[in-house]
């Protein structure tokens, strides 16, 4: 399998960085249950500089952080420290102050009301709590701007204390709920989220290059985020690094890591919770995490309210999609070859992964470009995943 995928994947990476308007650099990996069978890198870490992109380059994971925090929360569930049905306010009381945004008055003032029910831990996991992101919602952007709420990129608690876009449980709305979930992990363990992940997730998986605060070694290998301007040109943004150290370890988007580290997490999910240095989750917990829990609701695409951060888009348009505990589930077979009922998601700076527990394979593709769903990087990921399935 590794021989059949290598040439095809290498060509996809090369085309992605060498095509007109291509990505500055990209790393891609694929794994089965025993280990990586493809690792590749192409391009540079920063346009205009000579450092080549390498397989041990460090990326901002952005929303790929969420699944790791979901694992930490589910470990607490296994130990009886928290229940999925628990009201979140029992662990982070400030969440009880969050109100529902019910539109705006003619004078522009926001109409707020108390939610009809408490937010539960499970609703935070499923993105049904009502929390959103201002780059996916014009109304939320309007509210946050008027109330001078800091960007989530400030890595502050104030950044996630805004409003709900609907009552808890009424819809699937992708947002900052996992940041609140990280606070619940901190409450049940009595430690910062970074310490929790290091002890309970990274250590048994031997993930040595994953952290909210960059080590000197990680900083030396850090990939620069690039901004794609409306004319298609890319500009390096070397100053675009999350606060070091952060005021709050942001469970929704704050981790930096190598793809090699993230593949160890993917492999744990393929192996029913077993890590290379010990068990991370019980098999039945992994199975629970991988199931759709949305009921009649569905997850779908997104509409951009901040074109500099994200394009509008959708994964596998036309196919129904639901949500597991921190993963999107493709309810139907995907055109890449991914079978129905498997897992995947992404990070804002154009990182993408999938976990196919049925076939026993998974993979990840990462560049560092804004806006999300980049014209060069995202098609490269689709081609890469398709090549992996063709090879098997």
Q: Is residue 83 part of a domain?
A: no
* Cross-strand pairs, 342: 330
Model pTM?
A: 0.97
Q: Is 174 a catalytic residue?
A: yes
**Calpha distance 166→173 (Å, rounded):** 9
Which of the residues 38, 57, 63, 210 is marked catalytic?
63
Q: Is residue 172 part of a domain?
A: no
Average confidence (pLDDT) over 25-39: 98
Which of the residues 38, 133, 143, 174 is marked catalytic?
174
Q: Is residue 147 part of a domain?
A: no
Which of the residues 57, 66, 200, 262 is marked catalytic?
66
C-beta of residue 138 within 8 angstroms of C-beta of residue 149: no
Average confidence (pLDDT) over 306-334: 97
Task: Kindly calculate the radius of gyration of the chain based on its CA atoms and give it in whole angstroms.
Answer: 20
Q: Is the pLDDT of residue 223 over 70?
A: yes
Q: Is residue 168 part of a domain?
A: no
Question: At CA 210, angle to CA 204 and CA 215, rounded to 5?
Answer: 125
Q: Is residue 85 part of a domain?
A: no
The pLDDT confidence band at residue 2, using thresholds 50, 70 and 90, is: low
Q: Is residue 119 part of a domain?
A: no
User: Going by DSSP bridges, is the β-strand pair 99-104/163-164 parallel, antiparallel, or unpaired?
Assistant: parallel
* Residue 333: per-residue pLDDT: 98
Q: Is 217 a catalytic residue?
A: no
Mean pLDDT of the chain: 97
How many folded domains does the chain comprise?
Answer: 1
Q: Is the pLDDT of residue 1 over 60?
A: no
Q: Is residue 298 part of a domain?
A: yes
DSSP class of residue 94 equals G
The torsion angles phi and psi of 62, rounded to 5 degrees, stand at 50, -125
**Calpha distance 115→164 (Å, rounded):** 8
Average confidence (pLDDT) over 141-152: 97
Q: Is 155 a catalytic residue?
A: no
And the tokens for 139? 């109304």
3-state secondary structure (DSSP) of residue 203: helix
* Residue 140: per-residue pLDDT: 98
Q: What is the CATH number of the domain that holds 215?
A: 3.40.710.10
Domain that holds residue 269: 2-76+187-391
């Amino acid at each position: 399998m590794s021989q059949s995928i290598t040439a095809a994947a290498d060509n996809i990476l090369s085309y992605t960085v060498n095509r007109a308007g291509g990505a500055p650099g990209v790393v891609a990996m694929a794994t089965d249950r025993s280990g990586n069978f493809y690792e590749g890198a192409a391009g540079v870490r920063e346009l205009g500089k000579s450092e080549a992109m390498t397989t041990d380059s460090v990326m901002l994971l952005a929303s790929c952080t969420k699944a790791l925090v979901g694992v930490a929360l589910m470990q607490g569930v296994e130990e009886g420290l928290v229940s999925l049905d628990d009201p979140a306010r029992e662990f982070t009381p400030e969440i009880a102050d969050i109100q529902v945004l019910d539109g705006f008055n003619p004078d522009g003032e926001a109409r707020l009301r108390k939610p009809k029910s408490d937010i539960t831990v499970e609703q935070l996991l499923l993105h049904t709590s009502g929390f959103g992101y201002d780059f996916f919602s014009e109304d939320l952007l309007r509210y946050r701007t008027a109330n001078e709420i800091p960007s989530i990129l400030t890595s502050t608690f104030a950044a996630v204390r805004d409003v709900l876009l609907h009552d808890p449980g009424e819809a699937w709305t992708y947002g900052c709920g996992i940041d609140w979930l990280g606070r619940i992990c901190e409450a049940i363990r009595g430690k910062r989220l970074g310490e929790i992940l290091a002890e309970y997730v990274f250590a048994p998986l031997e993930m040595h290059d994953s952290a909210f605060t960059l080590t000197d070694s990680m900083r030396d290998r850090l990939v620069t985020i690039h901004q794609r301007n409306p004319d298609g040109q890319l500009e390096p943004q070397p100053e675009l690094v999350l606060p070091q150290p952060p005021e709050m370890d942001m469970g929704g988007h704050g981790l930096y890591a190598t793809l090699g580290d993230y593949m160890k997490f993917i492999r744990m999910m393929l192996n029913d919770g077993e890590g290379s240095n010990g068990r991370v989750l019980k098999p039945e917990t992994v199975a629970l995490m991988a199931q759709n829990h949305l009921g009649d609701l569905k997850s779908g695409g997104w509409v951009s309210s901040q074109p500099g951060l994200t394009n509008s888009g959708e994964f596998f348009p036309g196919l129904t999609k639901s949500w597991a505990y921190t993963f999107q589930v493709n309810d139907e077979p995907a055109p890449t070859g991914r079978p129905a009922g498997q897992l995947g998601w992404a990070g804002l700076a154009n990182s993408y992964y999938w976990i196919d527990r049925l076939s026993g394979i998974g993979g990840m593709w990462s560049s560092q470009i804004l806006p999300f769903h980049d014209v060069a990087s995202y098609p490269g990921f689709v081609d890469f995943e398709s090549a992996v399935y063709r090879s098997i």
